[in-house]
Structure formats: C-alpha cells, structure tokens
Structure 1
Amino acid sequence: MNPNDSPLLICLAGPTASGKSAASLALAQRWPIELIIMDSATIYRGMDIGTAKPSLQEQALAPHHLLDIRDPAQAYSAAEFARDAAVLAQDIRQRGRIPVLCGGTMLYYKALREGLNALPGADPEIRQALDAEASERGWPALHAELARVDPATAARLAPNDSQRLQRALEIWRSSGRAMSDWLAQPPQPVLPGWRFLTISLEPSDRSVLHTRIAQRYQAMIHAGLLDEVRALYARPDLHPGLPSIRCVGYRQLWDYLDERVSLEQAIEQAIAATRQLAKRQITWLRSLPQRVPVDCLSDQAVAEVAQHCAQALDA
C-alpha cells in the first residue's frame, strides 16, 4: 500500500501565543476542515478568557471539537484525549472532511501519536479515598507510600504532585500492579495506519514571543479574567489541587484572591509562568524529528502553513 493512500491527520502545534488559532481559521477558508482542539485548559466550561478559547464567531467558521467538555471540578487525561481525538478523526474523515489537530498540550499529542499503554481505568471510590487521606496526612506521606510499592514511579514524581501521585496509587490499589509495570508494556496505537503532518509554529526570536505573551495576558485582565476567576473561586468544590485551577494564569489570580500576593504580583507571576510554559512547549516541539517548523513571527507564516498542507493533501 502506498503510504500516501493512508488517511492524513494535520497537526498544527506551537507554544502559547504563536498564532495557531489564526492559522487554523485561515485553513478553514480554503478546505473543509474540522478542528480537534488539543488543549488541556479549553476543555473546561466557564474558563474562556484565560484560555483564549475561540469565540463563537470563530467557532462558526469551522467545527471545533473538545471545547467545553468538562466541568472545572473534573479531570481529563491524555489517554482520554487520545481516544476521543482518534474517534473524532475517523468520524471527520468518514464525513468527507479533513481533521486538523490544533493546540499546544504536547502530552496529548504524544499520547495520540505514540499510542496508549493498557492502564486500568479510573476508580472514583479509590480517588475519593486518596483525596481524604491526602487531606489528613498530606501528599508527601502518600508519596512515601508510593515509594514502597512503586519506587520507579515515585522517583520521577515530586512529593506534592497530587494529580500524578493519585493516579499512580489508584492504579496500584485497583490492580495490585505498579504503574511502572503497566508502562513497561509497549503502547497500543490509537490511529494505526494514519499519516501525521505536524506543522510547528515556532518563534525565530523568543523575546518577541515573550512580549506577545505579556500583552495578551494584560488584554485578558482588561477583558474580565479576574471576574472569571472570582466565579470559580466562589465555588466550594473547586481548589488549587485541581488541574483546572492549576492552569497557568488562573492559579496566580487564585493566589491573589487567597490574599497570598498582590494583584500586580499575580499578574507578573502569571506572565512569567506562561513564558516558562512556552519554553517547555518549544523544547518539546524541537525534539520531534518529523515536525515541519514555520516561523510564527513571519508575515508569511499562514501562507507557509497552507502550502505545507496543500502539498500533503495533494500527495
């Protein structure tokens, strides 16, 4: 079989503030695409401003999938994303349209591209019990427990990494096997036979991206981000241990509402944290040998993205 006869998934990746959304909407004007959003923050309802969620007008230009699929009190794993995105890609193709993955959560990309390990499913009762134990004893105590039953996993987790500690202990308690044992098995592909075109929007000048990040966060503040965080803060079921509240730009304003820092400090910390996030995203992207880099600061960036897509679609 000719590899070019295989179904194609276009992946438009890049760090925060690199112009991924604008590029994807430009593609929508040229081809019948549907967007699968690869973002661990825009999945949450009620978190719109600080996640730079596409507006309703932008969403009307092309179908957007995996937006607003979780309440902020809920979690969503990379494995869940990979399974959901794989089903969506197949459905979009069956409708005669082109699936385009767009976002910057590279752990989601890794799970979709490389496949999934056969880990046990979530167990709400065990998770609730672990939360109760953590409230009483603290996560470092649970980290010590994990070190006894799964030293390999404990060695790569920080003592206060609540989300990953909870998952590792949940797997141990539900299956009697260490998470490291499960992960030693080869992953199973979720999109076997598919071609991936990964276009990576990367800045030629990191300082320009840093300026963009600062300007965008200030714009979010003026657009009402603090009120958005206040609405979350008022909910008794939300707390900083949740993935939603740990999102960059939200946790810092939460600390302000907790009176830990001033508003000015919170904004400075949020901008610094966003720049660190962008640095990690760029490092991960540049480690991908199969990516097609495009300078996101170039006036021709969108045209270059479209050219690479045209070449792959015509192949």
Structure 2
Amino acid sequence: MLPLVIIIGPTGIGKSSLGLALAQNVGGEIISGDSVQVYQKLDIGSAKPSPEELQLAPHHLIDCLDPTEPFTAAQFKTSASSLIEEIRDRGHVPIVVGGTGLYIRSLLDPYDFWEHGSEEIRLKWQEFVKNHGNQALHQVLEQRDPETARQLHPNNVLRVIRALEVQELTGKPLSSQRQFKDDEYRPLDPQVLYIGLTAPRAIIYERINRRCEIMLAEGLLEETLNLLKTGYSPTLKPLQSIGYRHAVWCLQGLVTKDEMLRILQRDTRHFAKRQLTWFRRDPRIHWYDTEEGIDQILEELIQTCRAQQTRVE
C-alpha cells in the first residue's frame, strides 16, 4: 500500500510549504486538515494556499463549503478517509496537512462522535440565546458542566449548545464523556508517516507575530468586512475562528486596529501552545525541528516515501 503522510504542528511552523514540496517530489495530493480552509471566501485569515500554490499539486478539502454550512470532525473523518483511498487508487501519495488536532486524531484512532443529535434540543437553546443572550446560555452550561464551560468562550454559541445537547441526550456532562483516553493511541500502520514540525518557542512566537502582521497587510479586515456586507453573520462558526473574530471586533469598533493586532498575536500564540500540548501527548509522532533546515526534513521524507513506493511496485 502507498504511504500516507500526515504533517502536523503549530500554526505558522511551515506545514503547508513542506507538504507542497513533498507532493511535488513524490506525486502527492494534499488533504487540508484545517477547520477553516474548507470554507469559501475565508482566505487570508485561514492562510489558505494561494492560487499559484494550488496549481502546483492537487489539493482537497479547500474551498468546499459556504460559511453557513457546518463541517464537523466526523465529516472530516468521512471525507478524508474516502479521499485517501481515491488518491491511493490513482497511484499517488495522500498527504494530510493541518493543525486541527481532533481532525487528525479522528483519522488514526477510534472516535465516538455524537452524530445523531437532537434538532429539538438545539432549536430550544437557539431560541434561548435569542431571548436571553450568549452569557445567559453559558451560565446554564456552568451550572450543568462547569469543566466544559471553563473551556468554552460564551461567544462560542455552537459549541456551548452542543455541550448542553450532549448533556441532555446522555444525562452526563460532556466533560465526563471523554471520547479519547490519553493512552488510547492505536499503533500506526507501517505505511503511515506521522510527522510533527516544531521549533524553539521564541522562534514560533516570532513567526506568529510576523504572520499576523502579514495577514493584516494582505487585507484581513477588508476580507472580513466583505463577508459581513454579503450578509454573513459574525456569529457563524467560521467567523468565530481566530483572526476573523478579531477582525469583527475591530470592525465593530470594540478595539482599534493596533489593539486588534496585539490581541490577535497573543491569542494565536496561546493557540499554538495548545496545539503543541495536544500533539505532544501522542507518542507516535516523529518530531522535526525546523531550525535544522526544511530541506533536510524534505529530503528524508522523500527518501522514505520513495522506498515505500518501490516496495509497492
């Protein structure tokens, strides 16, 4: 069987560049493991590959959905699993690139998704939000499931409602229903190359700060304004993601542009730290320090992929 390459790491570490270079060298196709790149019209804030980069190798799960459409980890698992089979059937190497930890882990380990929820319960809480507001909804969750409430911002209405829905359906708080156990890491198939990119924290933070500046310079505020003018609600899940929610705050006059940049940089650094914490728990990941040189990492991956391809032939 042809190899499956998975490249993970914190935001701004260079995953996309490595994945693209590898795809060009081994006949690969890239599957985005990013929860925002799947949406149309959200380009700058999700650091989506440029049109020129998209021409260099086939890409999947990018620009697939309207921002109003839901896209869950369960949907990612189903879509990505099918794509991996199709890519291998074409004789190409599937390369999953992304930093959404739940997406990546759902591909590798058994995961219990609550796919069959209750529309009645969701509608009830959606009506509650309209009448009482986000903060009141969050207070209900605090009473029923304090641990989950601590992890969710009151403005993350979709996930707060989801937590309440699970609690009502199962009779147990979401925090007590851990879908993964920390030590439940299924052994990888021999064909899977699970690669993690990292760097010294100061370097990661420096890259993040610069990346945020570039996003603003490239038009993050203008892109977000166009989305709002088109009629998209700022409460949509994609517009609550990092970068876009900050742009919304600025456009609403809640913060200045300079304040927005500082908050965005801070929150992105915190996000990168959480990403690393999530991935560091997984003993199956083979880590590379990007300060040692991307070219060296790329060459090693090319050789490993070609060796596996030769065995298949």
TM tier, shorter chain? 0.7 to 0.9
CA gap 1:195/1:156 in 2 versus in 1, 3 angstroms: farther
What is the identity, as a one-letter code, of the residue corresponding to 1:302? L
1:165-314 matched pairs, under 5 angstroms: 165-171=160-166, 175=169, 178=172, 180=174, 183=177, 195-203=191-199, 205-239=200-234, 241-299=235-293, 300-310=296-306, 313=309
Structure 1 CA distance for aligned equivalents of residues 180 and 101 of structure 2: 20
Deviations 1:155-182 (A, max 9, x none): 7754725222312333466x56557599
Deviations 1:137-192 (A, max 9, x none): 345554565678x659857754725222312333466x5655759957899x9xx9
The number of aligned residues is: 306
Structure 2 CA distance for aligned equivalents of residues 208 and 153 of structure 1: 33
Q: Which residue of structure 2 aligns with residue 59 of structure 1?
A: 54
Mapped contact 2:3–2:193 kept (Cα < 8 A): yes
Mapped contact 2:10–2:99 kept (Cα < 8 A): yes
Shift in Å at residue 246 of structure 1? 1.8
1:128-139 matched pairs, under 5 angstroms: 128-139=123-134
Q: Which residue of structure 1 aligns with residue 68 of structure 2?
A: 73
Shift in Å at residue 226 of structure 1? 1.2
Mapped contact 2:111–2:179 kept (Cα < 8 A): no
Structure 2 CA distance for aligned equivalents of residues 208 and 182 of structure 1: 37
CA gap 1:23/1:108 in 2 versus in 1, 3 angstroms: same
Q: Which residue of structure 2 aligns with residue 3 of structure 1?
A: none
Deviations 1:221-254 (A, max 9, x none): 1111110011123244412x33211211111111
Shift in Å at residue 278 of structure 1? 1.1
SS in 2 for 1:213: helix
What is the identity, as a one-letter code, of the residue corresponding to 2:129? A
Structure 2 CA distance for aligned equivalents of residues 276 and 141 of structure 1: 26
Quote the RMSD (CA, aligned, Å).
3.2
Gaps of 5+ in 2: none
Gaps of 5+ in 1: 1-5
TM-score (norm 2): 0.84
Moved more, 78-87 or 114-123: 114-123
Please tell me whether residue 87 in structure 1 is matched to residue 94 in structure 2: no
Structure 2 CA distance for aligned equivalents of residues 213 and 180 of structure 1: 32
Mapped contact 1:255–1:261 kept (Cα < 8 A): yes
Q: Which residue of structure 1 aligns with residue 21 of structure 2?
A: 26
Among all aligned residue pairs of Structure 1 and Structure 2, give the percentage whose two residues are the same amino acid. Answer: 33
Deviations 1:27-63 (A, max 9, x none): 1222121111000111111110111101122112221
